[in-house]
Chains A and B, each alone.
Chain A
Amino acid sequence: MDDKEFDGHVKDVVKALKRQGIEANEEEISRNLGRMIEQAGEGYKMVANSKTLIVKGYKGDASYLWRPEDRLVGEVTLDDRYVNVMGKILSWNEATSQDGRKRHFGTLMDDTGSISFVVFKGMETPFVRGDGVDIENAQVREGRDGKPQLILGDRSAMELDRLNRLGDLELPSQEAFSGTISEVDRELPAVTVRGRVIDVSDKDIRVRGEEKTVSVGVISDGTGSINFTDWEHRPFTIGSVVTITDAYTRVFMGRVDLNISERSRIETEEDDGEIPALEELKEVTSVAPSLQKLSVSDLNGTSRGFSLEVQVMDRREKTIETRNGEKEIVSGVLADSTGTISFTSWGEFEHEEGAKIRIVDAYVKEFNNRLDVNLGDRTVIEVLGDDAVDPVDYEKEFVERNLTKLTVSELSPTYQNVDISGRLLTLGDRELPGGRKLREATLADDTGKVQVSIWTDADIEVKRCYRIAHAYVRSFRGVPQLQIGDRATVELLPEDSFGTAAFLSESRLVEIADIPSEGGAMDVKLHGIVLEVRQGSGLVDRCPDCQRVLRNGACMVHRTVEGTRDLRTKAILDDGTGAVNLILNRKLTEKVLETTMEECERLASEKMSREPIEKMISDTMVAALWEVSGDVNSDDYGFQMIARDVDRVHMPVRDKAREFLQSLSDSGGMN
């Protein structure tokens, strides 16, 4: 950076401070800025940051730094922060953002070029094409096309140029563009095209809170096709040849759309045969991805950019975790006469079950060997008439198609149609309060165990191996339970399909990260460090009626009662992949402390405090490695395990370290 440029930066800072009434020593600023630029670098952003920091260091407002520069339209570059420009409005449009606020956008031009602008502040009087305007203090940012764009915010101003200094400047004619459809490949303020209507339908949309019906469709002239929207909902006839004058185009998600507005004219013409026939065009357009009309059975894992006429058979909203946090999506099942397929809508999807719709421009994803139609940003949905689609027997199709093959450890209530195999370890009868009977069983595979409720008279015996299909999953006290209902099928498997009952009965050692967060797990073993023993551990008094722990001698429900003494531990156990709230009852706490509750009571009365007991638990457990077993249940507060057993793990760390070192040098990874 040369001295002149550096001095310029110093002056910027001094001026910015002066404008806010802050007096500053120029030499001091020069010294500090020099130091910062030396450290941070001379890049444009680095310098800007350094200047901002200095202004802030004086408790100033950094926005004063960016004094607008006077620029001609063609001179504005991405290096500018704030500019004043003058020009003529080439186009002026209005849009309503999602929060209902109006904003305007358009293009400004002068003799040197044109630039797009967005106005975020409210405008009393809208401008019109041809107005000469003065823009002050507009921010410059990079537009979607990579070119500079003017942003008019609260501190910017846009006024009619009363002197009309650009009066002589002629705007490019609005009827400037006329050509074949394939040439319409960018945003144009005025377009004339001629082509054959190859598809059209009505679409209900909401514009600024009002219901409105528009016509959407496709026209083609043999060189290409273009989607159109007629905002005036004029009638189109499929197969007719039309000339559309004074429409405009917008590029949205890489696709050019033709917008037919109030001022556009549509003329239906004599079919002189110059434009290829309808069937031929359809053939051609089917190559163009946005128009390929497919049936459900045509879809495969790579299908994209097609249209589909289907009935919504099932829909449900759910919240999923994405990289960017939680997101509401809609998923469900679609059907036509050839089959059913699941779908996921990443945006709004307001169509209820039973609705018949045309989905234009969706794509298919394959997940766990299952196809899923994804409705994304560019997908358009049109409502069809009642007689449009004749769907297959949904219930039957869906059940077959969406069967998910899972292992026991993967079970969670997310799955409603499960294919699972394992050995029955236990089987018993139970009567529900209403007199209804069911059988309860434990099913195990190599990954874990699950409780099963059998609501049918399926032919099953304990200790045998089965494949169970079309079962569903419920969460019971935060632990998944497999449900065998009317839809389920049960098939006997060979005896050697799974390990012996004795082997499968052992609790499986799992990593906490592998436990489904909405599921929990039955009878598992965890190895982890106790990070923390929580308050309320040690000696407690419980309400004799409800077993709640008394606070200040009172039960939350039964008021003051004579408490029953108990000993317990609440701790956080963490295995490096996740954590559970661990609860140890009296017996297990005694085991950990290698003492009895009576002994603890004696100690507490000797010290006149229960705190030493809590401390004793904490000194014993924290930072040590423990093996715990039991059910892991999940609720709003995360995972919890009420342990069935607990043991200190004494790992021969040095032997293991020696083996590990050996394996590192064996694997030759140390070169």
Chain B
Amino acid sequence: MRLRQPAWRILASELNDSGFEHRDEGEFAPNFIITPLGAMVNRVYFVGTLGLLESSGGDDGNPFYRGQIMDPTGRFHISCGQHQPEALRALQDIEVPARVAVVGKIRTFTLDSGGLRVGVRPEIIRPVDRDAQEYWLFDAVRHMRGRIEYMDEAMRMGEPNEEKLLAIGAPKRLIDGILRSVELYGSVDLNKYRSQMVSALSFILEGDDGGDGALPDYEPEEKAGSETELLESAIMDYLRLGGSGGVPYEDILQEMQDKKLSEGPDLIEEALDELRNQGLIYEQPMGTFHLI
């Protein structure tokens, strides 16, 4: 019997910091990402503000959405296509910005730099009220505190193992992940996550002031990030104009510079890599880009 994978309550920052994946042997074995705090995550549940939603494709009847959902520590990246019909229908009805709850499976993309980019394929997405968000945050922090404590202990142990972790009261369900995390990440900066617990709890308490459950006013916090988003969508638009012959790299570079979206090739290449990793474009031959 294979139990349904639990939906981890996990803050965006911890999820996005994950650098490793794991897949058990076997045909239908689920794959996991291993977070720095030792969560082995296949499915997540989170609540946040959907601040950015863009649709691409569409002409061929295969809509595809990408979006960002913010929590007090960072942003979840979601992407959703025809294989997630329920979430797709829900997204078509949602007006940005909106407070939403998402249940989804982890998707990963390996960047050319060797890093891991963590995204979420929503199974379910729906608008929720502030109560749901506060409860989720509280739950996520509660679980996170446990992981921080056990990671702290595990990193102090000379050679952490299952027995020692059980002895300090670590729940069985966390042990495998903690051991893997210590092995893979070595030393983890726990204070970073401790201060994120404070941010998350403070966010809940801010609700006391407003009281009316108004949407939190989140700006995407990384400026570079939003530039990249703009750039990516501009490139997609430009490629759409290019037709079946594809568009040479030099033209893209020129166009983006003309539009003042980028001064040099660095950001553009990053954006192209990103789009390629997401399976939105391909390069054939080298230097000529097409929409998929």
Residues of A within 8 A of B (CB): 24, 28-29, 31-32, 35-36, 39-40, 54, 57-59, 323-326, 511-514, 517-518, 529, 531-532, 572, 574-579, 622-625, 634-639, 651, 653-654, 656-658, 660-661, 664, 669-671
Residue from the list B1, B132, B143, B198 in contact with A664, Cβ < 8 A: B198
Given A579-B6, A661-B201, A669-B194, also A654-B208 (CB < 8 A): yes
Q: Please name all residues of chain A whose beta carbon is closer than 8 Å to the beta carbon of B202 when the two chains form the complex.
A: 661
29 interchain pairs (CB within 8 A)? A29-B286, A54-B286, A57-B286, A325-B26, A513-B173, A529-B45, A531-B7, A532-B123, A532-B124, A574-B6, A579-B3, A622-B124, A622-B126, A623-B47, A623-B128, A634-B1, A639-B3, A651-B138, A653-B131, A653-B204, A654-B204, A656-B138, A657-B137, A660-B141, A661-B198, A661-B205, A664-B197, A664-B201, A670-B195
Which of B6, B25, B114 meets A324, CB within 8 Å?
B25
> Bound complex: CA of A653 vs CA of B203, how far in Å?
12
Partner of B205 from the list A28, A324, A654 (CB cut-off 8 Å) is: A654
Question: Could you tell me if A638 and B1 are in contact, using CB atoms closer than 8 angstroms?
Answer: yes
Q: Does B8 contact A (CB under 8 A)?
A: yes
Is the Cβ of A657 less than 8 Å from the Cβ of B124? Answer: no
Within the assembled complex, what's the spacing in Å between the Cα atoms of A653 and B198? Answer: 15
| The 7 residue pairs across chains A and B that have the minimum distance between CB atoms | A325-B25, A325-B26, A657-B204, A513-B173, A623-B101, A579-B4, A623-B132
- State the majority secondary structure of interface residues on A: mixed
From A651, which residue of chain B is reached at the shortest CB distance? Answer: B135
Give the shortest distance, in Å, between A92 (CB) and chain B (any CB).
34
B24 in contact (CB, < 8 A)? yes
How far, in Å, is A34 (CB) from chain B's closest CB?
12
- Bound form: Cα–Cα A513–B171 in Å: 9
Report whether B24 and A576 are in contact in the complex, using a CB–CB cutoff of 8 Å.
Answer: no
Give the chain B neighbours of A29 by CB distance below 8 A.
286
Indicate whether B264 reaches chain A with its CB closer than 8 angstroms: no
* Shortest Cβ distance from B27 into A: residue: A325
Q: Fill in one digit per residue for B120-133: 1 if any A CB lies within 8 Å of its CB, else 0.
A: 00011010100110
Q: Is residue B75 contacting chain A, with contact meaning CB distance below 8 A?
A: no
- For B29, the chain A residues whose CB sits under 8 A away are 325
B9 within 8 A of A: yes
Task: Assess whether A517 is in contact with B286, with CB atoms less than 8 Å apart.
Answer: no
Would A660 and B285 count as touching, CB distance under 8 A? no
Q: Are A513 and B172 in contact (CB under 8 A)?
A: yes
Using known A-B contacts A24-B285, A40-B112, determine if residue A660 contacts B138 with beta carbons closer than 8 Å: yes
In the complex, which residue of chain B has the Cβ closest to the Cβ of A581? B4
* Chain B, interface residues (CB within 8 Å), range: 35 or more
Which residues on the B side are within 8 Å of A579 (C-beta)? 3-7
Interchain nearest-CB distance for B214 vs A (Å): 15
Q: Is A653 within 8 A of B124, CB to CB?
A: no
B166 to chain A, nearest CB (A): 11
The answer to whether B4 and A572 have CB atoms under 8 Å apart is yes
Give the chain B neighbours of A24 by CB distance below 8 A: 285-286
Instruction: State in angstroms the CA–CA spacing of A58 and B284 once bound together.
Output: 6
B176:A638 contact, CB within 8 angstroms? no
Separation of A636 and B284 alpha carbons in the complex (Å): 47
CA distance A660 to B285 in the complex (A): 57
Q: What residues of A have a CB within 8 angstroms of the CB of B287 in the complex? A: 28, 31-32
A39 and B3 contact, Cβ closer than 8 Å, known pairs A622-B126, A653-B204, A670-B195: no
Q: Give residues in B with beta carbon < 8 Å to A.
A: 1-9, 24-26, 29, 45, 47, 101, 103, 112-114, 123-124, 126, 128, 131-132, 134-139, 141-143, 145, 148, 171-173, 176, 191, 194-195, 197-198, 201-202, 204-205, 207-208, 269, 283-287
Q: Please, which residues of chain A bring their CB within 8 A of the CB of B198?
A: 661, 664, 670
Residues of A within 8 Å of B8, CB to CB, are 576
Q: How far is the CB of A629 from chain B (nearest CB, A)?
A: 20
Which chain A residue lies CB-closest to B134? A653
Residues from chain B with Cβ under 8 Å of A32 in the complex = 286-287
Contacts of B4 in A (CB 8 A): 572, 578-579, 638-639
Cα separation A324 to B148 with both chains bound (whole Å): 26
Chain B nearest CB, measured from A533 CB (Å) = 10
Among A54, A514, A576, A653, contact of B45 (Cβ-Cβ < 8 Å): A576
Across the interface, do B172 and A654 meet the contact criterion of CB distance under 8 Å? no
CA–CA, A230 and B232, complex, Å: 70
Cβ-closest chain B residue relative to A532:
B124
Q: Given the known A-B contacts A35-B269, A39-B113, are A638 and B2 also in contact in the complex, defined by CB atoms under 8 Å?
A: yes
Closest to B126 in A: A622
With known contacts A517-B1, A579-B7, A622-B126, A670–B204 Cβ distance under 8 A? no
- A576 x B26 contact (CB < 8 A): no
Contact A578 B132 (CB under 8 A): no
CA A623 to CA B47, docked complex, whole Å: 9
Which chain A residue shows the least CB distance to B8? A576
What's the Cα separation between A661 and B137 when bound, in Å? 13
Smallest beta-carbon distance A655→chain B, Å = 10
**Which residue of B is nearest A578, CB measured?**
B6
Residues of B within 8 A of A660 (CB): 138, 141-142, 145, 197, 201
The answer to whether A654 and B124 have CB atoms under 8 Å apart is no
Picked from B112, B207, B284, the residue with its CB within 8 Å of the CB of A654 is B207
User: B7, A576: Cβ atoms under 8 Å?
Assistant: yes
Identify the interface centre among B6, B136, B198: most chain A CB within 10 Å of its CB.
B6
Minimum CB–CB distance for B274 against chain A, Å: 13
Picked from B1, B26, B208, B284, the residue with its CB within 8 Å of the CB of A57 is B284
